Structure 1
Amino acid sequence: MRMFDWYRAATSVERRTFWGCFCGWTLDSFDNQILAFLLPTLMATWHFSKSEAGLIATSSLLAAAVGGWVSGILSDRHGRVRVLTWSIIWFTGFSIVAGLTNSYGQLLVVRALQGLGFGAEWAVGAALMAEVINPVHRGKALGLVQSGFSVGWALASVITGVLLAYLPTWIAWRSAFWIGVIPALVVLLIRRYIPEPELFRKMQEETSGAIVATWRSALRRDVRRASLLAALLVTGLQASSFAIAIWLPTMLVQVRHLPGSTVAVMALMMSAGSFIGQVSFAYLNDQFGRRFTAMTYCLFAASLTACYLFIPMDPRMLAMLGLPVGVAVNGAFAGVGPMLSELFPTAIRTTCMGFSYNVGKSLGALSVALVGVVAEHIGLVSSIGLFCFIGYFCALLALTFLPETRGRDLKNFSLTAEDRELGDRSDLLEQVSHPRS
């Protein structure tokens, strides 16, 4: 099929990098989503409340934001593959520890620590794939890597369901945490044969290590505007996605009065739609450009969400519409990686991507709590709709001012004038500190 011509034309390094990043994102999603499916069992076992359950999820999410920013800085300093390898070891190790916990407090601490590793996979993996792949196919490759999220989500659902159905409860939930070791070993094996991108190695040679990424790098004057607009874009997309994904099942049960079986079908359809949306976006992204495709998806998602929330439908139609809703709500995320990787120079690429994505993700996650608060005054349906539309407005506003970056050659975008200025200062300081005789 012609849609896979880009993969057949790829070099062996490009193919290994693709599978290393795809499997890494799948594992990240799998380990992250496991808790969502285990929470009802753990709440019954340890007798903690819904608010306490939410605190576990929130602590992991906030820790992931911190971990994503820090790992971006470390990646620009020490290399993409090295940081990704240690992130897998980190969150897989804490997944094992999570299976050994015996109380709510222990699990809360362990999941927060585990979250530090979750944050690394997105920004660093996206930069690695972007720097290796042919620029003509960057959108397709990164979009398909992003679809690993949907695969991990589906695997977490199936595996936890099987374990809870066929094993005693006390060992089933522990096994669900431990089983992530198997795919982690596969990911580590693949990444053993992935070199650091030539682009990154060349940048280090040119600068002789003079340029050191710090937490302030994302707000440097030459990238500040792009960093903040990218954060606004991610905030909008995440706010809309969280509002739908977290609150839609509750709305269907409490407002539409649908049975649990119908809601389960809707969730499965959304998962499938998410995969389809990310794959389709990946190809459209390279054909029509980053901004146009993302804007189209946002407008499509806003229109479809309005129909889904406010037009009365029978249960069968609501369940079936889960597929296009999944396509619209999650498809646009496939374009975030290519766009952000093309906005920033190599020397601080993962630092800026980690900052923008994780600040946006943290702010977007506030919509989960705000939907619940506002729903007390205007109703759950209107509240979900309100925050979805605010989110898509923010995303469209950011896209209006962000540049089109499709096909940008990262080799000619590795050092900015400010990078060279920093390097010149470093050379000057070296000469002053160690004058030639």
Structure 2
Amino acid sequence: MIIDELNAMKPNRFHYKLLLIAGLGWAFDAMDTGIISFIMPVLTKEWHLTSTEIGMLGSIGLLGMAIGAILAGALADHIGRKKIITWTMLLYGIATALSALAPNYEFLLFCRLLVGLGLGGELPVVATLITEYSPQNSRGRFMVMLESFWAIGWLLAALIAYLVIPLYGWRIGLAVGALPALYTGVIRAHMPESLRYLMKQQKLAELNETISQLERATAVPLTRCTKQELKALNTQPINSNLSTLWSKQYALRTAMLWITWFGIIFSYYGIFMWLPSLIYQQGFTIVKSFEYLLIMTVAQFPGYISAAYLVDKIGRRYTLSLYLLCSGISSYFFGHATSETVLLTSGIFMSFFNLGAWGVIYTYTPELYPTEIRGLGSGWAAGIGRIGGIIAPILVGFLLSQQLHMDSIFYLFASVFVLISIVVLCFGKESKQQALESIK
């Protein structure tokens, strides 16, 4: 049967092409997210914004991402992964272009909300699609490789911030973020719909046409599906709604994922959305801050590579727990740095482990739900996580306005990392090299 052939297939040109297409979209997402954090110090000076206003600017996009993830995840289970990916990329590309034209703070806030809707909707659905096409024994590696494109996007954002913004201003930097709107044509032409989605939706003609395209792309003979086989696969349909995620069968994994997503996004955005400003407040110039952030961004690549190796060796649960714990330790030392050397070294390790953990969480989440609710489960987990991202930048802005020192703020982030590391270790279910069809 086609699913067995898909699981057993060795990684080939088709898989790497799909990874590249999806990964470039992922990089554009990261570039857009990174650019807004890099322009925060500039906007603070140009528009005379308060810490609370800057925190709101960071959080409004996360509000959009929370709504987008939940809506897009549910829709992807009903109308398809490919359509949702295309529409969400178009939305956030256009909204980013409008952000570059913002005449005032309020208009920029609205645009960032729209950017978040598109961005938050795309990420969990792309992860779902790549999960459903990756060969069983190398699925973890492919998913972490997908997430590694995030570092490429952040690197591009850092380069734009370092080379473009000081010379040409923040508007030009944001204008570059409109590129995803043009990239949607590539998505529509070269990204196939998920075979597993088509099977669950009983779309026989489209399914066999996609199998034919896959056969040509892989040069591997593949079995076509019959109407009887599709009916046999759907003898026990699962209701795709929120109550299913909290049924007895899925409640523990849903709780574990929601807590972990909330914690990792809370700490990530609390730290990284404010990172340029925090470094700047320690006495470094904006240009020097960008240099440090560029170095920290490069450190993300070996973090992804190591996670990609470990995730299929020791498993998702242990790798994720380890990287979250090390993220907490690194963030503690970063917040308590008393010299440039300690600041830079701890920042490098913080980026290494934190982004490695992101690679694993995007691998892990879709694997814990069956196809009928995979988009729904992934979308809700990411959406709940974004609530943590909404709270964190505002909270940091408030704490800074209360004259709270940075080391106290980083106590909080370090503690959250350690806590969710324990949650994953105690309540996580291992899914290493498990067939997606065996997930119940």
Task: Flag whether TM exceeds 0.5 (same fold).
Answer: yes
**Pairing partner for 2:358 from 317, 330, 333:** 333
Counterpart amino acid of residue 175 in structure 2 = W
Partner of 2:386: 361
- Asked if 2 retains the 8 angstrom alpha-carbon contact of 1:252 and 1:258, the reply is yes
Equivalenced residue count is 401
% identical aligned pairs:
26
1:61-115, CA deviations, whole angstroms, 9 ceiling, x for partnerless residues?
Answer: 1111110110000100011111101111111111222233322222211221221
Query: Shift of the alpha carbon at 1:402?
Result: 1.4
Counterpart amino acid of residue 287 in structure 1 = K
Counterpart amino acid of residue 194 in structure 1 = M
1:210-264, CA deviations, whole angstroms, 9 ceiling, x for partnerless residues?
Answer: 766345443344322211210111122223323432455555555x655655543
Counterpart amino acid of residue 91 in structure 1 = Y
SS of structure 1 residue aligned to 2:430: coil
Partner of 2:409: 383
Partner of 1:201: 198
Partner of 1:431: none
TM normalised by structure 1 equals 0.82
1:304-349, CA deviations, whole angstroms, 9 ceiling, x for partnerless residues?
Answer: 3344444x65323432442222112222111011111110010110
Counterpart amino acid of residue 199 in structure 1 = R
Counterpart amino acid of residue 395 in structure 1 = S
Counterpart amino acid of residue 95 in structure 1 = T
Partner of 1:398: 424
Partner of 1:242: 269
| Cα 1:146–1:347 shift into 2, 3 Å | same
Matched, 1:273 2:299: yes
1:29-67, CA deviations, whole angstroms, 9 ceiling, x for partnerless residues?
Answer: 112222222334444444443322322221111111110
Partner of 2:309: 283
SS of structure 2 residue aligned to 1:287: coil
Q: How does 1:36-435 map to 2 (within 5 A)?
A: 36-167=37-168, 169=169, 173-186=170-183, 188-205=185-202, 206=230, 207=234, 213-247=240-274, 252=279, 254=281, 257=283, 262-310=288-336, 313-371=338-396, 376=402, 379-413=405-439, 416=440
Give 5+ residue unaligned stretches, structure 2: 1-8, 203-229
Partner of 2:5: none
| Cα 1:97–1:216 shift into 2, 3 Å | farther
How many Å separate the matches in 2 of 1:67 and 1:263?
32
| Cα 1:67–1:356 shift into 2, 3 Å | same
How many Å separate the matches in 2 of 1:288 and 1:29?
28
- Asked if 1 retains the 8 angstrom alpha-carbon contact of 2:330 and 2:350, the reply is yes
Segment of structure 1 superposing worse, 267-276 or 363-372: 363-372
1:183-223, CA deviations, whole angstroms, 9 ceiling, x for partnerless residues?
Answer: 54345314422211212211222449976634544334432
Query: Shift of the alpha carbon at 1:290?
Result: 0.6
- Asked if 1 retains the 8 angstrom alpha-carbon contact of 2:370 and 2:437, the reply is no
Counterpart amino acid of residue 261 in structure 2 = V
- Asked if 2 retains the 8 angstrom alpha-carbon contact of 1:135 and 1:409, the reply is yes
- Asked if 2 retains the 8 angstrom alpha-carbon contact of 1:298 and 1:328, the reply is yes
Segment of structure 1 superposing worse, 60-69 or 186-195: 186-195
How many Å separate the matches in 1 of 2:24 and 2:120?
15
- Asked if 2 retains the 8 angstrom alpha-carbon contact of 1:298 and 1:395, the reply is yes
How many Å separate the matches in 2 of 1:369 and 1:290?
32
RMSD of aligned alpha carbons: 2.8
How many Å separate the matches in 1 of 2:398 and 2:160?
34
Partner of 1:422: none
Query: Shift of the alpha carbon at 1:133?
Result: 0.6
Partner of 2:226: none
| Cα 1:269–1:160 shift into 2, 3 Å | closer
| Cα 1:395–1:188 shift into 2, 3 Å | farther
| Cα 1:110–1:392 shift into 2, 3 Å | same
How many Å separate the matches in 2 of 1:302 and 1:216?
33
